[in-house]
């Protein structure tokens, strides 16, 4: 049985533009629990007050997963990690120190024997707090494997329950990694006394291949993120490794506890929270992963799905139901579709969503599954609204300057202002800047079509910088200007939520 260590909330959140607030981290952690991961690395407790609070609250909330916090091989780091994870039903302290010659010489300025001594000392220190202690050798794949065998043997003797062999900079190749792990474990007398973990980065596009190679070499835990997000080029994508194990069980002869039907929902939740969309051709969770356009492929799939599909869409949580929903559909049909998409929502939320659905159906001929999921995302991940949109008027054309007049509600009071800009969206944003009176910098703005057709909903994603922190807002509408305004307001409300 392979254990899944998900670090979306720690390494994944370190991706530029992927920061999450406390509420969003808790939502993501709950979904990871539903997905069935074994360990959630909830954060780096000493990194910031926000990280500490997130680890602590996730530890209090999630009951079916081990909750881990990262810590350098430093007593203060370990103290903070324990204070954060001690509320967990199954807590883990994950401590690390660098072991490559380049890191020991230039970063640590320590001799190899000093590094071993420090690692052993800190594992023993962590063990006083917590039975479950993971030790990682940072930059392991550029380290001497015999040195690693020695340090891993020592930390297991000191009480480590997991040893991690990370490819920190995405340097190694799959066949090398297999031999590297075999060399380490064959030179240890106690390798069977701890889980062997791997943590692979994707700098050369090898993270998933290296992870799978490590599993063949005897790794019993792999560290990963949803959608492969993470530092630089990211980490091994959970969905890709898990589906490889499931699809090629004949080759790997391994299983895990992941409920694969929750994969798509988890992927979409992360995209909704971060505003970082998955590329269409992304394995498993991309929009085109189960799409067939070629006539030859279409003919083959219609005759026998297995001709071009090595796994079913249903196995990862996609629904093949093509029933069209429109303005004549009733609440029963809508509720059934929501349930078929994998969502278990309260009657109160269903009633609110159904009203939004009917409003949307009046604007669109057909409402697609992605429209419904977009409505659900907006309802289930909701930041308290300090500002709400009351109305807006846009004057624009190729012979006049664009002008936007926007009215917002704040504390039951309507506030209104106008501004001119280079276009309708620019004018709207300038009017909003005047209304909220905050020091905000627009870092990024993107617009996507959520569904098919000329009446498709537009999804606007805004990234605003306030006090060096990035806030992501998302807005949906068949009117792209309205979607943009809603996205801006959503980002501002996140700023207000943090203040």
End-to-end, the C-alpha distance of the chain in Å comes to 44
**Domain that includes residue 307, residue range:** 288-318
Q: Tell me the CATH number at 45.
A: 3.20.20.70
Residues 225 and 309 in one domain: no
* Boundary residue ending a domain (246, 274, 302): 274
312 pLDDT above the threshold of 60: yes
Are 148 and 140 in contact by the 8 Å Cβ rule? The answer is yes
Residues 250 and 391 in one domain: no
pTM: 0.79
Does 282 reside within a domain?
Answer: no
* Boundary residue ending a domain (354, 380, 406): 380
User: Using one digit for the tens of pLDDT, what is the confidence trace for 58-97?
Assistant: 999 999 999 999 999 999 999 999 999 999 999 999 999 9
User: Using one digit for the tens of pLDDT, what is the confidence trace for 464-494?
Assistant: 999 888 888 889 888 999 999 999 999 999 9
Residues 78 and 26 in one domain: yes
Does 70 reside within a domain?
Answer: yes
Q: Tell me the CATH number at 431.
A: 3.30.160.270
* Boundary residue ending a domain (274, 304, 330): 274
Residues 444 and 427 in one domain: yes
Arithmetic mean of pLDDT over the chain? 90
Q: What is the Cα–Cα distance from 186 to 359, expressed in whole angstroms?
A: 65
Predicted confidence at residue 298, as pLDDT, reads 46
Residues 427 and 411 in one domain: yes
* Overall number of domains in the chain: 4
Percent share of the chain, pLDDT over 70: 91
Mean pLDDT of 284-295: 70
Mean pLDDT of 195-218: 98
Q: How confident is the model at residue 378 (pLDDT cuts 50, 70, 90)?
A: low
Residues 391 and 376 in one domain: no
Does 491 reside within a domain?
Answer: yes
Residues 98 and 130 in one domain: yes
Residues 94 and 195 in one domain: yes
Does 283 reside within a domain?
Answer: no
Residues 59 and 13 in one domain: yes
Residues 81 and 217 in one domain: yes
Residues 63 and 117 in one domain: yes
105 pLDDT above the threshold of 90: yes
Does 280 reside within a domain?
Answer: no
Residues 314 and 343 in one domain: no
């Amino acid at each position: 049985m392979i254990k899944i260590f998900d670090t979306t909330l720690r390494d994944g959140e370190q991706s530029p533009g992927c920061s999450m607030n406390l509420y969003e981290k808790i939502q993501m952690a709950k979904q990871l629990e539903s997905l069935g991961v074994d360990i959630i690395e909830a954060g780096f407790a000493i990194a910031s007050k926000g990280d500490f609070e997130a680890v602590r609250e996730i530890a209090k909330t999630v009951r079916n997963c081990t909750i881990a916090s990262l810590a350098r091989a430093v007593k203060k780091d370990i103290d903070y990690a324990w204070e954060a994870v001690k509320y967990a039903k199954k807590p883990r302290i994950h401590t690390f120190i660098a072991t490559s010659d380049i890191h020991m010489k230039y970063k640590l300025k320590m001799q190899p024997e000093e590094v071993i001594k420090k690692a052993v000392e800190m594992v023993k220190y962590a063990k006083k707090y917590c039975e479950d202690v993971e030790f990682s050798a940072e930059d392991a794949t550029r380290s001497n494997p015999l040195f690693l065998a020695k340090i891993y043997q020592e930390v297991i003797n000191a009480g480590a329950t997991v040893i991690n062999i990370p490819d920190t900079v995405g340097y190694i190749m799959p066949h090398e990694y297999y031999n590297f792990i075999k060399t380490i474990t064959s030179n240890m007398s106690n390798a069977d006394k701890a889980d062997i973990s791997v943590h692979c980065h994707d700098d050369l596009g090898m993270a998933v291949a290296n992870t799978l190679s490590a599993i063949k070499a005897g790794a019993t835990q792999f560290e990963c993120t949803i959608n492969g997000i993470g530092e630089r080029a990211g980490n091994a994508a959970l969905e890709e490794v898990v589906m490889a194990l499931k699809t090629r069980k004949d080759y790997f002869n391994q299983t895990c506890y992941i409920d694969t039907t929750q994969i798509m929902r988890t992927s979409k939740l992360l995209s909704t929270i971060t505003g970082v969309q998955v590329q269409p051709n992304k394995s498993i969770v991309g929009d085109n992963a189960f799409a067939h356009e070629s006539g030859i492929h279409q003919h083959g799939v219609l005759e026998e799905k297995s001709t071009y599909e090595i796994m079913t869409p249903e196995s990862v949580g996609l629904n093949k139901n093509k029933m069209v929903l429109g303005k004549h559909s009733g609440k029963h049909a809508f509720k059934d579709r929501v349930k078929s998409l994998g969502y278990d929502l309260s009657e109160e939320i269903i009633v609110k969503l159904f009203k939004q659905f009917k409003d949307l159906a009046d604007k669109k001929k057909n409402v697609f599954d992605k429209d419904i999921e977009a409505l659900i995302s907006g309802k289930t991940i909701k930041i308290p609204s300090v500002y709400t949109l009351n109305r807006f008027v846009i004057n624009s054309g190729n012979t006049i300057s664009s002008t936007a007049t926007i009215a917002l509600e704040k504390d039951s009071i309507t506030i209104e202002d106008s501004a001119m800009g280079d276009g309708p969206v620019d004018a709207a944003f300038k009017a909003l800047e005047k209304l909220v009176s905050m020091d905000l910098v627009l870092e990024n703005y993107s617009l996507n079509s959520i569904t098919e057709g000329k009446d498709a909903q537009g999804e606007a994603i805004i990234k605003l910088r306030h006090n060096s922190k990035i806030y992501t807002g998302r807005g949906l509408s068949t009117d792209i200007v309205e979607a943009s305004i809603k996205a801006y307001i959503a980002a501002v409300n996140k700023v207000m939520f943090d203040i």
